[in-house]
Structures are given as structure tokens and as C-alpha cells.
Chains A and B, each alone.
Chain A
């Protein structure tokens, strides 16, 4: 079952903040965040692991609530380059070939 992302779309002006949420009905081992610009491949942003470890870009922040099986991606002081579709991918169990189940995506548009 796919995780649920909210909101489905958000429109910002440069400099504004946004939060994108990802919620799963299953106990999670990790949450992965990717951004995809129109016509391009998804690009890695961040991984949040059970136990608190995070890996990702310095300018991106996110949280992972293991008890609620929820993650949030925080985009602060947005720039035009932040525009794109954001996907969360969730992993159940930490096997060496753990598969990700992606949400439906959140479309972020940043205007000047």
C-alpha cells in the first residue's frame, strides 16, 4: 500500500516555507525523499532511518516520527529551483535489497 502524501500540490512565492508530509499505515524502517523536475529523473534529497540517523543534503531538513509512521520534509526560504514534484519512498524492514514504496507525489511550484 502506497504511503499518502499531503498536500497534493502547493504554490509558494520565493522565500516562503512549505512542509510536505508522508504517512504510512505500516511500521517503517526508513523514509526516502526525492525531487523530480519536469522531464528529468528523480534526484535524491534525504534518507531518514529508524533510530534517528539521517543522510542527505545540508540545506534540506526532515523529520521521521517512527511511532506514527510519518515523515515531514521542510522547505524553508524557498527558491525557484525548489519547484518540482516531491516523492517520499517508504521501506518496511531493513533487508539489503529493501524495496521502496513511493507516494503519489506533491507538486511544488515556486513563483518569483
Chain B
């Protein structure tokens, strides 16, 4: 079974803090994705990576950065957290073929106060 894990299910941070969200997959997938999920807006792509050290901006990259130093790990970084970044963050991975499914992690509920 493919497994995508995220470092925390719930996280509470203060405005201005630097926040790291970690995602690890165990299936040697080339592609990894970070989404945020907000009520009524669905899943919106923040960043994705198609290989180690390679990254592409998604639809809402502002305020975020990413790091992929190893194939199995994809990190989302909030350089200076703001209250409008309070959201559910989902990581996903997939093999290097867009005709295959993405596997999602359980999500991290981030609250910025």
C-alpha cells in the first residue's frame, strides 16, 4: 500500500513564525504536490515537484516556498505565517505519469493565531 504521511495532524502557530510542514511518501514517486483546502474552494495547488530539487509554482504560491532534497520528502515552508494561511494542508504524490492517480496524505490542520 502506498503511504503518504504528514508530520502533524494539527498545528498551532503564531503570526510571523516560520512554519515547516513535512510530507513523506514511501513509493518512490517522482511527483509530489502541496494543496490547501478551504471550505467552498476545494483543493488549490500551492506548489508541486516533479523530481528532486525541481519545483513548479501552482495556482496560489504566494507566501509559501518548498524544498525537495530527497525523493521521498517534500516540505512546505511558510516563511512568516499569517492568519489567512490558517487552513487544511494536504500533500500528495504520484508516479511520473499524469494518467495515474495521486495519493493523498491525511492532512495538517494549521491554525495561525
A residues engaging B (CB < 8 A)? 2, 29-30, 32, 34, 40-44, 47, 49, 53, 55, 87, 89, 91, 94-105
Interchain nearest-CB distance for A96 vs B (Å): 5
Asked if A42 contacts B45 (CB within 8 A), the reply is no
Cα of A97 to Cα of B48 in the assembled complex, Å:
9
Interchain nearest-CB distance for B96 vs A (Å): 5
Question: Which residue on chain B has the smallest CB distance to residue A98?
Answer: B98
For B50, what are the chain A residues with a Cβ–Cβ distance below 8 Å?
96-97
Cα of A31 to Cα of B11 in the assembled complex, Å:
33
Cα of A44 to Cα of B100 in the assembled complex, Å:
10
Given contacts A44-B103, A97-B30, list 20 more A-B pairs with CB under 8 A.
A41-B90, A41-B104, A41-B105, A41-B106, A42-B43, A47-B99, A49-B99, A55-B99, A94-B99, A96-B50, A96-B97, A97-B31, A97-B48, A97-B50, A97-B96, A98-B98, A102-B43, A102-B44, A104-B40, A104-B41
Interface of A, secondary structure class, is loop
Interface size class of B (residues with CB under 8 A): 20 to 34
Interface string of B50-66 (1 = CB under 8 A from A): 10000010110000000
Q: Could you list 13 A-B pairs, sorted by A, with CB under 8 Å?
A: A42-B43, A42-B90, A55-B100, A87-B43, A94-B99, A96-B98, A97-B50, A97-B96, A98-B98, A99-B45, A103-B42, A104-B40, A104-B42
| One of A29, A32, A98 near B101 (C-beta < 8 A) | A32
